[in-house]
Structure 1
Amino acid sequence: MPRQPHHYPGLRIWAALAVLVAVLASCGADRNFKKGEKFLALGEYFDAAAQYKQAYSKSKPKDRTARGLYAMRMAYCYNRINSNGKAIAAYRNAIRYGADSLQTHLDFARALLKDANYKEAEKEFLLVLDSMPDNQLAKDGLQSARTAKAAKDAGSRYIVKKMDIFNSRRADFSPMFCGDQYEQLFFTSTRNEAEGDELSGITGTKNGDIFYSQKDDKGKWGRPQTITSGLNTEFDEGACCFSPDQRVMYLTQCVSDPSYPRYATIATSNRADAAWGKATKLEITRDTLSSFAHPAVSPDGEWLYFTSDMPGGKGGLDIWRVRITAAGLGGVENLGEPINTAGDEMFPTFRPNGDLYFSSNGHPGLGGLDIFIAKTDKSGKKIILEHPGYPLNSQGDDFGMTFEGAHNRGFFSSNRGDGRGWDHIYSFEKPEIIQTVTGWVYEMEGYELPDAQVYLVGNDGTNKKLSVKGDGSFTEVVEPGVDYVLLATCKGFLNHKEEISIKPTAESEDHVLQFPLASIRVPVLIDNIFYDFDKSSLRKESETALDELVKLLQENPNVTIELSAHCDYKGSEAYNKKLSQRRAESVVRYLIAKGVSAKRLTPVGYGKMKPKTIRKKLTEKYTWLKEGDVLTEEFIKKLDKEKQEICNQLNRRTEFIVLRTTYGMFDENGQLKNPPKPKEKEDDTDANGNEDIFLIE
């Protein structure tokens, strides 16, 4: 009998080992899948995708059901962390192994859009619509697939540039200007300098922190810096905005226990001097199972807009708003259609003119999140949506805009062209001819008044309340051919009014106005009042300042003032008192001749009885003086001759102080002559009787 070949026993051993390896591999795949499920339940998509990938690689091609399941899970996770290329590959495998559904093909089609693969995306959308003809996301996606290439080819007037100075090798997004002159830029980054040592199971990077960059005197941006004042934590912080006065930061946080599903919340941080304090959660509702993110404050400071998946929305993530009051937050409102869709609407922000910018993957666009502009028509009722086109939008995610003042320029974030899906910061500018009014509100002889309020009224029906920045300034876009009246008010000060007519121009122009407000608590210097030497007669060059005083009294008709004149210590007390009295009376006669009632004016000559008290603003010019110094004869004579003469000049002055603010307001019976009328309730409904919850006020 021939001997069996000696290799037969060896083949049997390897066959047995192959079966054992297959069994062990199956067990290993199952372990990886279970780990992936745990990570997915916590929203840790990066870690979950890694486990599903291992499970997929350990499974056999003939295990079609398992492979299809693993691929589907991978696709979902990659989609959530913006790894679009990997998501597309995973969707293809899921479909290949028969794990697909109509939702799979819809998600696949939307991923193809984001990859600018418009032809294949069109086929996938048509497949979905064949079975689900009313699916709005598929309808809008099909429109995008058919029109995106032409829209990109058409382009727009936007100029977009990548800002390497801000960007790292990780995600950098949601830029936001801060500073009265827009000299700081805050943004979110997952760069290595972020707080904490752990990598996020959600993204595979460090948790996001808020960083900022400072612009120098030459307009050059500096390298980003971390905030070391306690604002950032080892958890996620990002997507911030500021109140109009820039004293409060609103930011997104995710600081819940990592062993449970994490929900984003909105928090606030207050600024003390130049430092931002530890963030405190802002309770918008009592809902603890929904996310609240991407805060944006309306230009008037009266509304907080945000993104949420709370019940009552249109699907996915919606944009909501809540009123900000002195007593706290009011009830929440969903912006509704046409802004919100069955897709995701996120990252709201405002241009200073009141236009709302937001990002959506539910409206027809170029793919991914596209930026849209929501404006209201002239009636203020109908909302008009505008797609700003390419290159502001791309096939990737485009979001998180911030504007440098009234002009259509600033920064935004996008993951276009990044194969790993990292977000980067870009600059944008759309050249346009605009006219603006820039005003400065400040106290006479004092500093800026950031608590002031400015009212703008135009003969075209414009009626706005403008907020003042920390440096006392404001900027507002105005229209050519319109006449405007601007009134600045502040508690403890008299009003100041300016009028301006805007003429058409061939290029952008900024009209600068000054709003010096007179205090009702302290004497106010009337600068540039000149008398003939040793006489009370007013010189011609005094008329400009006095005409300003006439205007001030006309704008504040219920005010009475004491008009006082003062001398230095030279000469006899009696003589100085008489001379100053005559000078005060000369000013009063001028005011009366200009139409101011004599009943509103009290002339008083103090001579040298009331030497000037130095206020802080004056110490900037005369650094050898201190706030609170009183320029008495004794004080002056201790100085050198040059400084003595300066002090004597400061004592020789004409001032006024407010005596009453109720002149002419009451009749002989003490009743208010013109009581305010009850305010009629505004009609906030449209032609169909539906309440309009998106009014740009």
Structure 2
Amino acid sequence: MKEKLYTLIIICFTMLLTASCGADHYMKKGEKYLALGEYYDAAAEFKTAYNKTSPKDKDKRGERAKKLAGCYDRINSTQKAIAAYRNTIRYNKADIETHLSFARVLMKNGSYKEAAKEFQLVLDSLPDNELAKTGLLSAQTAQAEKEAGSRYIVKKMDVFNSRRADYSPMLFGDEYDQLYFTSTRNEAEGDELSGITGTKAGDIFVSQKDDKGKWGKPEAIVSGLNTEFDEGACCFTPDQSQMYLTQCTTDPNYPRYATIVTSNRSDAAWGKASALEITRDTLSSYAHPAVSPDGQWLYFTSDMPGGKGGYDIWRVRLTSNGLGGVENLGEPVNTPGNEMFPTFRPNGDLYFSSDGHKGLGGLDIYIAKVDKRTKKFVLEHPGYPLNSYGDDFGMTFEGPHNRGYFSSNRGDGRGWDHIYSFEKPEVIQTVKGWVYEMDGYELPDALVYMIGSDGTNLKLNVKGDGSFTQVISPNVDYMMLATCKGFLNHKEELRVKPVTESEEYVLQFPLASIRVPVLIDNIFYDFDKYSLRPESTKALDELIKLLNENPNVTIELSAHCDYKGSAEYNKTLSQKRAEAVVNYLIEHGIAKDRLSPVGYGKEKPKTIRKKLTEKYPWLKEGDVLTEEFIKKLDKDKQEICNQLNRRTEFIVLRITYGMFDENGNLKNPPKAKEQDNGGSEDDGFVIEM
């Protein structure tokens, strides 16, 4: 009997020893994955080790539960993290950091009362712990803030979302009709699953809006931008020619850190990304890029030395010669917690996410606005439902409006992020301008200088379609001057009245070329006469406005006829018509020596420019409407060409009229401009109201 008992004891001991050795094996594998930052794979190993450890071995069960809790926490598996933290405490292996982490993950679960107890426990030992103090205040006020709500309207966007993670949306295009975002869905590049998340490595996907405003199925970018590694959290320069994005490569032997890479857009496709070296520190992460609305700064997230703790938001200046120095945004933006995912509303407000400020749990979205008086950031928490007890981050805005998209893992038991729409009804007044060549196309290289009676002084870049949109304020007078190299300036003035509903003013900025003749449309004469008809005055008044806005310009004012009638008669008639226009301009204040009337008769038939071929597709760019050319056409087309030849035009002769004195010296030389140390030098262009 004793022999059987001894045998049973030996067998049990052997089984326990084997189980213990097996558990240690899985712990070693888990530690290796953890060192590489592969939290999902590490959690799987630690879980196996924990299950293979006898409940009687409380020390090891507690230590392994603690490792497991940390991994679950990092991969946003909130419920599993809570269970693992509870086991850590149950087996008496929890230290102060464990209780702090447990409290913070309870906040992400919306368990505010229990979180408050854990935060208080931390403060009993460490009364100056900033994260615990902020956490306790959050736990005490979160439920009331959630019940108070806000005017934000939030909806889950199933059209963008998959069964995996979809996050960091970013609108693109002049009409905001493309949405770029990161996804770990099955269509992403590569065949392997990430040891960090347990899903495929993230790729950049894009959804296109159709003519009816409906979003299409997201498709992966196939131009070489995506790789087998993680790509995510992208942004664009104001001219939409360059993308900055986060990339995370992997290495089976060494931990790798997130980096920021860039891609250029050519022929409507994004090229292969190249690395951006912000500093020479290769042991820190650089992620979540955001370009400021003026294009002068790149904001990003990093845990590099010199911050407030955790991840901070930093910025680096973008110059024509490369990157400038790196700056930490400091307080009040950064905290001992994590500040991430910076982005900008076009009005300059900085949006970012943080778990270090008072909030509702997890990462909350905050707004940093610059106080006009102190020039310092003032923070605002936009409340529920934009924020939740989960992670809320990655904002993008539809132009000047307070609407767009963001990402959140609220309510997802696996901790995966999904894309939501948001809108906060606001009364917004905007001006939309279009800068284009008279008789031609949009001018994407144009600049618009905007001056307001409230002190506004802006230099606006236009988009690829020649447009710009800017928020304006009621009871303010604005003056806008559009300029472009090779063209005359054009000025528009606007008085903004208070409104009760959002309103958009639309202004046109047609710029006259200084290189080619410019048609003065809608100039009318009586048949076979040179007297101007009354309906011509509107077009001529616009020409007067143009000449007043460009006082250093002289022009040749020319009139042209078709080939019908004698050459001598046509030339005389056209000369008198040109003189009639010039006389009108002189009568309305334009100096006579700025105007040269010339009647060409039929000597200079019209040369067709590309824009006109859109209206008359049977004409080609470069066609010259000579008598010989016209007579080969059908009768109806002949009459159209004759109408095109019967025209009044002007061409710029000089752009230096009145600029020099009798000795050839510049009359009003530019004055040296004082610069403050913190400012950036502009083009030296000054507008006076």
Match of 1:214 in 2: 208
| Contact 1:366–1:394, Cα closer than 8 Å, also in 2 | yes
2:674 paired with 1:680: yes
Q: Which runs of 5+ in 2 are unaligned?
A: 680-689
> Separation in 2 of the partners of 1:259 and 1:171?
26
> Separation in 2 of the partners of 1:399 and 1:137?
20
Match of 1:625 in 2: 619
CA deviations 1:2-34 (Å, max 9, x no partner) are xx5xxx544433321211111111111111111
> Within 5 A, what are the aligned runs for 1:342-381?
342-379=336-373, 381=375
> Separation in 1 of the partners of 2:280 and 2:610?
48
- Say which SS state the counterpart of residue 357 (structure 1) adopts: strand
> Within 5 A, what are the aligned runs for 1:38-437?
38-255=32-249, 257-379=251-373, 381-437=375-431
2:47 paired with 1:34: no
| Contact 1:245–1:450, Cα closer than 8 Å, also in 2 | no
CA deviations 1:222-261 (Å, max 9, x no partner) are 1111111111111111111111121211111123544321
> Separation in 2 of the partners of 1:17 and 1:345?
55
CA deviations 1:639-671 (Å, max 9, x no partner) are 111111111111111111122222222222322
> Separation in 2 of the partners of 1:311 and 1:663?
59
The Cα shift of 1:613 comes to: 1.2
Once structures 1 and 2 are overlaid, which stretch shifts more, 418-427 or 330-339? 330-339
- Say which SS state the counterpart of residue 139 (structure 2) adopts: helix
Match of 1:568 in 2: 562
| Contact 1:241–1:297, Cα closer than 8 Å, also in 2 | yes
> Separation in 1 of the partners of 2:591 and 2:97?
79
CA deviations 1:97-154 (Å, max 9, x no partner) are 2222211111111111111111111111111112211111111111100110000000
CA deviations 1:390-410 (Å, max 9, x no partner) are 000000000001111111111
Matched AA of 1:237: E
> Separation in 2 of the partners of 1:683 and 1:31?
61
| Contact 1:295–1:304, Cα closer than 8 Å, also in 2 | yes
Match of 1:24 in 2: 18
Aligned with residue 573 of structure 2, among 575, 579, 600 = 579
Matched AA of 1:541: E
| Contact 1:437–1:476, Cα closer than 8 Å, also in 2 | yes
Matched AA of 2:422: F
- When normalised by structure 1's length, the TM-score is 0.95
> Within 5 A, what are the aligned runs for 1:664-679?
664-679=658-673
Aligned with residue 478 of structure 1, among 452, 472, 482 = 472
- Say which SS state the counterpart of residue 528 (structure 1) adopts: coil
- When normalised by structure 2's length, the TM-score is 0.96
CA deviations 1:266-323 (Å, max 9, x no partner) are 1221222222111122222222222111111111222111111122111111111122
The Cα shift of 1:380 comes to: 5.9
Matched AA of 2:216: G
> Separation in 2 of the partners of 1:604 and 1:318?
68
The Cα shift of 1:65 comes to: 2.6
CA deviations 1:535-571 (Å, max 9, x no partner) are 2211111111111111111111122222111111222
Change (3 A) 1:530 1:257: farther
> Within 5 A, what are the aligned runs for 1:421-460?
421-460=415-454
- Say which SS state the counterpart of residue 534 (structure 1) adopts: coil
- Say which SS state the counterpart of residue 176 (structure 1) adopts: strand
CA deviations 1:377-432 (Å, max 9, x no partner) are 23261321100000000000000011111111111000000011000000111111
Match of 2:686 in 1: none
> Separation in 2 of the partners of 1:305 and 1:40?
29
Once structures 1 and 2 are overlaid, which stretch shifts more, 157-166 or 379-388? 379-388
2:455 paired with 1:461: yes
> Separation in 2 of the partners of 1:420 and 1:567?
77
CA deviations 1:454-510 (Å, max 9, x no partner) are 122111111122221121111111111111111111122111111111111111111
> Separation in 1 of the partners of 2:299 and 2:57?
48
| Contact 1:244–1:468, Cα closer than 8 Å, also in 2 | no
> Separation in 2 of the partners of 1:543 and 1:386?
54
Aligned with residue 609 of structure 1, among 583, 603, 608 = 603
The Cα shift of 1:595 comes to: 1.2
The Cα shift of 1:192 comes to: 0.3
CA deviations 1:312-339 (Å, max 9, x no partner) are 1111111111222222222121111111
- Say which SS state the counterpart of residue 388 (structure 2) adopts: coil
> Separation in 1 of the partners of 2:301 and 2:170?
17
The Cα shift of 1:263 comes to: 1.3
Once structures 1 and 2 are overlaid, which stretch shifts more, 361-370 or 582-591? 582-591
Match of 2:684 in 1: none
| Contact 1:299–1:352, Cα closer than 8 Å, also in 2 | yes
Matched AA of 2:321: A
> Separation in 2 of the partners of 1:443 and 1:379?
40
Q: Which runs of 5+ in 1 are unaligned?
A: 686-697
> Separation in 1 of the partners of 2:23 and 2:124?
36
Once structures 1 and 2 are overlaid, which stretch shifts more, 368-377 or 125-134? 125-134
Once structures 1 and 2 are overlaid, which stretch shifts more, 486-495 or 658-667? 658-667
| Contact 1:178–1:185, Cα closer than 8 Å, also in 2 | yes
Q: What number of residue pairs does the alignment pair up?
A: 679
